[in-house]
Chains A and B, each alone.
Chain A
Amino acid sequence: MRPFARAAVITALALPALAPWPALAADEPVSSDIGRRRIEGLLRRAGDRAPLAGVALFAYPAPADARRGELRDPAPPTEEPPWVRRIETDESGAFVIDDLPPGLLALEAVVPGHVRTRWIIDTARIPLRGLRLYLRPEADSPYRTTVVEQRARPTIAEPAPVERQLSSEEIRTLPGSQGDPLRALQSLPGVARAPFGAGLLVLRGASPRQSLVYVGDHPVPLAFHLSGLASVLPAGAIDSMTFAPSNFAPAFGNASGGLVSLTPRAGRRDAYHGQASLDIGGVGGQAEGPLGKGSFLVAARRAHLDLPLRVVGALNPRSSIIYPSYYDYQAFYDRPLGRGRSLHVGFLGAGDRLGFMGVAQPVRGRVALFEPRISFHRVDLAYRAKVGRSAVLLTPALRFDTNRVTGENTELAPRRALVSTLRAQLDHALTDRLTLVVGGDAELGHQTGDALVDETTVLPGTLVVGGTGTTNTTTLNHAYLGLYGEAVLRHRGLMLAAGTRFSAFVTEGIEAFAVDPRVRVRQAIGERWTLSGGVGLYSQPWIGQVSGNGGSLTTSLVPSTYVLPDQILANYDPTTFHYELAMRVLRALQASAGATVHLDHGIEIEGNGFVRELRDPQRPALYGSAGERAWGGEVIVRKRLTRRVYGWVAYTLLWSRRELADIRGDHGYGVGLYDQRHNLVAVLSARLPRDWQLGGRFRLTSGLPYTPVIGAVGSGASFDPIRGALLSDRFPLFHQLDLRVDKRWIRRRTIVGAYLDVQNVLNHQNTEAYVYSVDLRQRVGSLSMPILPLLGVRVDI
């Protein structure tokens, strides 16, 4: 036996599957009459056809009565084969076997994480080339091994003191999130549960408008679709997601809350792949593959939930129904330019329509009482280069936003914006321990809207865009510039980053400047403990704001008999310039500290405390609040994804306060809009045999505060609510159990997956809004999410 063959046999013997071959240990001479056949083939993983590189294939003659074909988990040969050869696949999964005698040949692959498979082939009948073998992954093996591209961007997403990540597997199978990354994020500590499961990221008590979501190196104006069912980027187009609830790096600015960074995924180059998905909410498709020297990835999705709801509306013509519809698309091209340089080109966009349909006049049938339509479209380039000890990033982007609201007889405030952003960054490793990061980012915006001049409502010095009445087209230009520098020291388990961000904000003649020093530190103690902390200032320019009382959503478009959560009203009002100063700057002091201990079996426990103090001195007196204060703690006990199980139990304790002025002008702190005192989330998901997966999520949260109705003004059938003390009441305790079942069928070239995600399995009535009689004297109903089964299928090729 040749030395390599013997070694292969010995290796095989070390594997339990081949252990019953005692004879192979013998030094068996290889037959000398081989040499008349040559086989060229490819070994790939079944389903996604990923090349299996560096995999050993064992070839040996099969008995004459062996059945040709593919055999999984085969029994060991009953007789000792006369010879065995070991072949190894190259980077593309290709293999070549020379000098094969005619007859039946057994090929056997033993790859960890894959089902042991034996192929019996007739060397006289198979083609000389093009043999395709597909190896099926084990049921409890991660389907996709994410290959992280080593881009020249070591620090732009440098983690905050607290940084949490979810694997693609966790995102895909997390109950209640339909495989959506940002909805999955809402199950982590530090993230409040939004009313109706809406797409609002409330990070450590900060308003969703105070946090930013980056896609790539630039922010997007819309993280979630309006319905809240999905974020604007599907999981399949994301390489990784980083979430910093506070204390993020100086490289990011213009936010006073937290940060979520979604990194687009480069298309695969190993082959062309496609994906199609269909569920009750929408239909989507994705394709990727090599293109020239680079790779591409295109994806698109369209929600069709409005279509069945229109049918329901036709069946029940007197009901009021919400019709959500949306689309999003992504197209990425990534190309390595050689010598550590790369280029990324991205197109992405999203659009939403959310129609509130009601019966206003029986003669005319159901009409859209209120229908916001928003969209954005973005193109961006990113050039990265790694030269010696330096890494450079240069990335411009151009974005077009639209925002309009149509109603039964009106169209409010169409708003358009052209926004260009630019980022340039240099990372330079001064020594092995010390890295210096310097860079700058800029945002230039030109917004056009319809301005209303209304002497009864305009506050002095305000720019009012939106509303009804006589309008004039008004433009609003803004420019934000940020320069940042940070030194990052890494030494013996210590990461110490200290830096500053200088910001300049200019809007229509209003100028503001901010200097935001930030320090972050992380220290590993032994192999199990990590301590972390951070403190810093964060500045955010603010153009336009709506309050729970001031926007057109509350005043004219939603019936006064609906008492919606202020959190919804404050974030979904379409006329973002309503009754507001042109620009002001919010400043927040953020501090956090915590510890993580890593236990055995992939279990870790993490605890953090945080505090956030926000000042907004120029906030109009209309809102009676110039400051916000939030503090609390988070604990998560997490079982990292291993072979079969992942899960966590997360608890957040939060106090959120905002400054209030009473009738005498005295200031004090009252309950804040996002004061969700207790938030408990438990997640458990397990892989089962035969590619089944079962998971559950349970949430228990305090009811959010709202401003109660204590009376009404009006007569006849026209009444407006009189509201009591601001945020002086709370909705009831919320609890919900979601269950999800996944099943996959892995074929050679395809993977078919199906899931059933049942939200609110117990059909618990979680009141999230109240409905009153026309004179507001009686609560006649409430709004809540009933049991909601969602069935979906997905095909990957």
Chain B
Amino acid sequence: MPRPKSRRPARARELLLALACAACLPEQPPEWLILDPRFFLLEVEVIATGALSKPLDLDPPGRTRREGLPGDRIRIRPVIVGPGGPITPRDPPLLIRSGFVVFAPDPDGALPECAEDGLDGLRDCRIRGDELALPPLPPAELGSSFWPKLWVIVSDPEGPGADECYRRLITRDDDGLFECHIDDFRLDYGPPNRVADLQDQGDYYQPVELDYNLSAAWLELSIDEGAQTRMLRADHGDTIAVAPDARIRAELKIDEDELQRWATYPRGEVFDEVLSPRWATTDPDAALDPDAWAWSVGQRVELLAGPREPGGYHLYVDVRTRVRSSRFLWVRIVPDGPGDAAP
């Protein structure tokens, strides 16, 4: 007669877990799971050049520069994503140029307008609109690790507005800032070879191309719906209908010809630009690895579509250089039946 299965090991395990719970820390939602509106990235585009840069009309068609030189004008666009898809802020972002690591607000709360070009001393100043001229820093300071700094304040659509967010930030208002999105960005100058030229170190970098944003990026989806497995290409903004509980593997694809190449002096070694995607999704059942924020191009993430969900799930990808976003794309997955790609 077979002996009944002992429950002691299970009980011992439960006991051990219970004893340890005093020292256990609660599990947090994974960082790639979008539960609330989130400041996802900042897109930067050079829209006009100054005396130091080459004219924009010399750039390849469809490519935009992500870094400029003193005197260039840039446009920035904060990207806010939420559980229901990308979010349009309530009003244009409030841009604050600051000479400090942290805010040094005027005690009266006044925030002067920034001069069109040039620095404004040590005072914070605000920038009208979403465009600004890159400050004419001395060449020696172009590589500074913390200067100049740009603060970006954005309000949720239901939020109080960017100006009110700023006021609450300065006063540490009890109303809170949870409907506001705030981040600071270093205004990088580039491309590196031109900065090196200005610093009389031009021999160090020998660029092949300029410092461009990535223009072509898409997702290659492998959709396992039980009875069949489909392969699809999903471009930015696409909605993909899948069967409920389908397993979806997503792989980022880029045009490798767009990767820029660099040669170092004096060895002349050539390196490809390294881009890495940072994934996020609204699918709580996704199987994104905790390190999805540091993967390189070519690695895959896996999503479980789950039950029928009219709104579907969103998958967001930020293709980045080491410090800067180079391309943003998103797709929507709708577990709605065995359909094909939705329009």
Which residues of A does B touch, CB under 8 Å? 280, 305, 308-309, 311-313, 315-316, 318-324, 358-359, 361-362, 456, 561-562, 663-665, 710-717, 722-725, 728, 771-775, 777-778, 780-783, 785-786, 788
Contact = CB atoms under 8 A, between A and B. Distances in A.
Interface stretch (B25-33, B65-73, B129-137, B209-217): B25-33
B290 A321 contact: no
Nearest to B176: A710
A713 B184 contact: yes
B236 interface: no
A788 B183 contact: no
10 contacts: A308-B20, A312-B24, A715-B39, A716-B293, A728-B174, A771-B28, A775-B39, A778-B35, A781-B26, A783-B26
Interface stretch (B11-19, B197-205, B240-248): B11-19
Contact of A788 (B22, B180, B182): B22
A132 to B, nearest CB: 43
Given A456-B101, A664-B107, A715 B20 contact: no
Contacts of A780: 26, 28-29
A771 B26 CA distance: 8
Contact of B40 (A316, A561, A716): A716
Nearest to B177: A711
Contacts of B178: 710-711, 777
A309 B35 contact: no
A714 B151 CA distance: 10
A456 B290 CA distance: 32
A308 B318 contact: no
Contacts of B19: 280, 308, 312
A717 B27 contact: no
Nearest to A717: B31
B1 interface: no
B51 interface: no
B209 to A, nearest CB: 26
A315 B35 contact: no
Nearest to B78: A715
A783 B25 contact: yes
Given A321-B23, A715-B183, A724-B172, A773 B35 contact: yes
Contacts of B37: 777
B169 A711 contact: yes
Contacts of B23: 305, 309, 321-324
Given A309-B23, A722-B172, 11 more contacts: A315-B13, A320-B25, A361-B291, A561-B28, A710-B172, A710-B174, A712-B182, A715-B39, A715-B41, A724-B172, A774-B29
A320 B25 CA distance: 6
A305 B23 CA distance: 10
A312 B16 contact: yes
Contacts of B29: 773-774, 780
Q: Interface residues of B toward A: which range?
A: 35 or more
Nearest to B27: A319
Interface of B: 13, 16-17, 19-29, 31-32, 35-42, 101, 105, 107, 146, 168-174, 176-178, 180-184, 278, 280, 289-291, 293, 318
Nearest to B17: A312
Contacts, number: 136
A456 B146 contact: yes
Given A312-B19, A359-B290, A717-B278, A777 B41 contact: no
A777 B172 contact: no
Contacts of B35: 773, 777-778
A715 B40 contact: yes
Nearest to A306: B23
B26 A312 contact: no
A362 B289 contact: yes
B272 to A, nearest CB: 23
A788 B18 CA distance: 9
A623 to B, nearest CB: 16
Contacts of A308: 16, 19-20
A320 B318 contact: no
A724 B101 CA distance: 19
A305 B37 CA distance: 41
Given A710-B178, A711-B178, A725 B184 contact: no
Interface of A, helix, strand, loop or mixed by DSSP: mixed
A779 B31 CA distance: 14
Contacts of B146: 456
B81 to A, nearest CB: 10
B66 to A, nearest CB: 16
A571 B291 CA distance: 33
Given A456-B146, A710-B176, A711-B182, A716 B318 contact: yes
Contacts of A788: 22
Nearest to A726: B172
Nearest to A324: B23
User: Which 9 A-B pairs have CB atoms at the shortest separation, nearest pair first?
Assistant: A711-B177, A781-B26, A312-B20, A717-B31, A715-B39, A774-B31, A777-B36, A320-B25, A710-B176
B203 to A, nearest CB: 28
Interface centre among B20, B35, B105, B178 (most CB of A within 10 A): B20
Contacts of B38: 715, 775, 777
B107 A782 contact: no
Given A664-B107, A713-B182, A320 B291 contact: no
A651 B20 CA distance: 33
Contacts of A358: 25
A438 to B, nearest CB: 50
A714 B101 CA distance: 14
Contacts of A315: 13, 16-17
A531 to B, nearest CB: 45
Contact of A717 (B32, B36, B172, B177): B32
Nearest to B170: A663
Contact of B20 (A309, A361, A664, A785): A309
A268 B219 CA distance: 79
A778 B183 CA distance: 18
A322 B20 CA distance: 9
A713 B107 contact: no
Contact of B176 (A311, A711, A781, A786): A711
A307 B21 CA distance: 14
A144 to B, nearest CB: 32
A715 B38 CA distance: 7
A772 B38 CA distance: 14
A443 to B, nearest CB: 36
A305 B180 CA distance: 44
> Which of A324, A561, A774, A786 has most B Cβ within 10 Å?
A774
B164 to A, nearest CB: 12
B12 to A, nearest CB: 10
Contacts of A359: 290
A664 B17 CA distance: 52
Contacts of B177: 710-712, 722
B291 A711 contact: no
Given A316-B17, A716-B40, A773 B172 contact: no
Contacts of A786: 21-22
B17 A773 contact: no
Contact of A321 (B20, B105, B176): B20
A664 B107 CA distance: 6
B100 to A, nearest CB: 10
A600 B247 CA distance: 78
Contacts of A774: 28-29, 31
A321 B25 contact: yes
B290 A320 contact: no
A663 B105 contact: yes
B107 A362 contact: no
A778 B41 contact: no
Q: Which of A713, A725, A781, A783 has the largest count of B CB atoms less than 10 A from its CB? A: A713
A711 B174 contact: no
Given A713-B182, A714-B183, A722-B182, A781 B174 contact: no
